[in-house]
Amino acid sequence: MSCAQAVAPSTIAMGTPGFMDFRVVPLPTFFTYSCTNTSHEPSISLKCNGCRIPPRDHYMSWQFVDLPGQPAAVVGFQFNLTAKQHGDNEHVSFVSGAMNSDGYVDDGKLKTFRGRDSNVLKIQLFPQIYNNLGNLRLLQPLVQDFTQGSALSDVGSLNASL
């Protein structure tokens, strides 16, 4: 599995779906997307320097696609989110994590995240700021939810999808 098979998200959704504060904006409005191939899985990074990120729910979706001779069979990926507040060159907010199929088993079988339906990662940036020694400030983000898209858990389905 490589970054070539991870389709970069083009938009980010913010707010609560169905309410007035909900909006969808192009991803480059807030973030710079990058993906790095690691020995275990793709590492997806979103960076925001000098921007104002509203403290609400943020939704990002992506897909893993097949390439000629290289089927996408991802069972996990790492993500990083880095944000620097506008006008503040001293403090950076950072959240990192790994999503894997261990928590998404079907009758004891691991799943692969692949197919037409997008995976959605929901991150909530709390407006809480923790102050600590040495002028260290931390804005605590929280990965609140992960909604899997298309997934396969048996060899027959995986072979049929190739």
CA distances from 140 to 11, 48, 69, 96, 125 (A): 23, 15, 42, 12, 7
**Domain ranges, ordered by start, for the chain:** 3-161
Looking up tokens 């000098």, which residue turns up?
A: 50
pLDDT for 67 equals 74
| Coil, helix or strand at residue 138 | strand
This model's pTM is above 0.85: no
pLDDT for 127 equals 45
- Digit-by-digit pLDDT tens for the chain (162 residues) are 778 887 778 888 888 788 888 888 888 887 788 888 887 777 778 777 666 666 667 777 767 777 777 776 665 666 666 666 656 666 666 666 666 555 555 555 555 666 666 666 666 554 455 556 566 655 555 555 566 666 656 666 656 665
Rounded to the nearest 10 degrees, how much is the dihedral formed by the CA atoms of 149, 155, 160, 162?
Answer: 70
